[in-house]
């Protein structure tokens, strides 16, 4: 009897703690939602970091440790003098130009390179940030500037990656060079985006390709029929329902989906061929993937290098800015996004294991 009493008290405490946690969580979600509705500062925040400064800081930190004190001071003096002389020379050239003409003069600024990131999931959910980043960049960039996209994606939904690709087209349509760097993977919808680059580079063993279309889903119709479970679907339109999870799959429905998949594949092939005319599209549009060094042989990329090499080289010739846009979320949205992200990463991890297990060493 004493055991049952103690056990009952224990259960009561657990229930109390769970209820208290739910109440607190609900209050936080409600407060976050109210804050989101009443906020007048926009959907999110944009941040810009000058990567030249970060690179200089890292170099100075290394030199300060490796070089002796006098050497370090001499290097700093030399660089400051060089920078001062360059500025002086530019001012001198500008004054000479002013004296030689009465016409309005367009001041030439140093080239700017804007770095953005896209880490794609099945739904290409980062397109919401991508569109804002591109809008911000296009408000100031000129044809003398450049956009560098670090792209990672194994692909996903056709319509989602179609929208993401359309955002990159905005850059090309403005006449601004677009460099895309792939360090790990740009397959299927990822390559749909990558082929829009003015210059496409990939790491030696980055995975590219998978130019194909896939439709798959489980069907439980026979299981339901075995246990006498009815599943009713009422629809209008001959092909409103073709393949479903619980309904019977007919030969006519399967044939229609196959036709749709083949048509989408043709559109995908035409898209790649339009933006990378050098490729032999029928040879690469088999659904296969290749690593960077193999993709170069097939004209699927323009060079083999990492994004780090591209950015370090860019800092020598231009002002390089990393641009990122973070959409403001309520606590409830953040909680939901965290759960969704965890599930999505689990699914994508399993998907990549199936596709890439032959490349493991």
Supply the residues annotated as catalytic: 188, 240
Write the DSSP string, 22-49. HHHHHHHHHHHHHHHHH--S-SEEEEEE
Angle ∠(344,348,349) on CA atoms, nearest 5: 115
**Structural contact between residues 144 and 174, judged by C-beta atoms closer than 8 angstroms:** no
> How many Cα neighbours within 13 Å face the side chain of 220?
8
For 117, list phi and psi in degrees, rounded to 5. -120, 145
Where is 148: in which H helix or E strand?
strand 146-152
DSSP bridge partners of 150? 117, 181
**Structural contact between residues 137 and 114, judged by C-beta atoms closer than 8 angstroms:** yes
Taking every pair of Cα atoms in the chain, the longest distance, rounded to a whole number of angstroms, is: 105
């Amino acid at each position: 009897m004493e055991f049952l009493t103690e056990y009952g008290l224990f259960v009561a405490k657990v229930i109390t703690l769970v209820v208290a946690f739910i109440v607190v969580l609900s209050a936080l979600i409600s407060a976050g939602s109210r804050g989101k509705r009443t906020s007048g500062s926009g959907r999110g925040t944009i941040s810009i970091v000058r990567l030249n400064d970060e690179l200089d800081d890292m170099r100075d930190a290394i030199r300060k440790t490796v070089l002796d004190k006098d050497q370090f001071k001499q290097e700093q003096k030399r660089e400051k003098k060089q920078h001062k002389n360059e500025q002086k020379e530019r001012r001198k050239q500008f004054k000479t130009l002013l004296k030689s003409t009465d016409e309005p003069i367009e001041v030439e600024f140093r080239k700017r390179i804007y770095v953005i990131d896209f880490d794609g999931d099945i739904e290409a959910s980062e397109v919401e940030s991508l569109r804002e980043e591109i809008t911000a960049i296009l408000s100031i960039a000129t044809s003398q500037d450049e956009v560098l996209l670090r792209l990672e994606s194994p692909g996903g939904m056709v319509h989602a990656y179609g929208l993401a690709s359309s955002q990159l087209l905005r850059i090309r349509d403005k006449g601004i060079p677009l460099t895309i760097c792939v360090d790990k993977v740009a397959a299927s919808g990822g390559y749909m985006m990558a082929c829009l680059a003015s210059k496409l580079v990939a790491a030696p063993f980055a995975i590219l390709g998978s130019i194909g279309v896939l439709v798959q889903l489980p069907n439980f119709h026979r299981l339901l029929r075995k246990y006498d479970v009815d599943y009713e679907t009422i629809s209008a339109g001959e092909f409103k329902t073709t393949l479903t999870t619980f309904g019977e799959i007919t030969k006519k429905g399967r044939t229609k989906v196959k036709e749709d998949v083949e048509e989408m594949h043709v559109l995908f092939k035409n898209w790649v061929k339009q933006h990378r005319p050098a490729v032999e599209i029928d040879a690469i549009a088999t659904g296969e993937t290749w690593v960077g060094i193999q993709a170069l042989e097939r004209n699927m990329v323009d060079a083999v290098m990492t994004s780090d090499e591209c950015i370090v080289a860019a800092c020598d010739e231009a002002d390089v800015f990393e641009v990122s846009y973070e959409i403001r979320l309520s606590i409830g949205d953040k909680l939901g996004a965290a759960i969704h992200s965890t599930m999505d990463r689990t699914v994508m991890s399993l998907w990549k294991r199936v596709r890439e297990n032959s490349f493991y060493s």
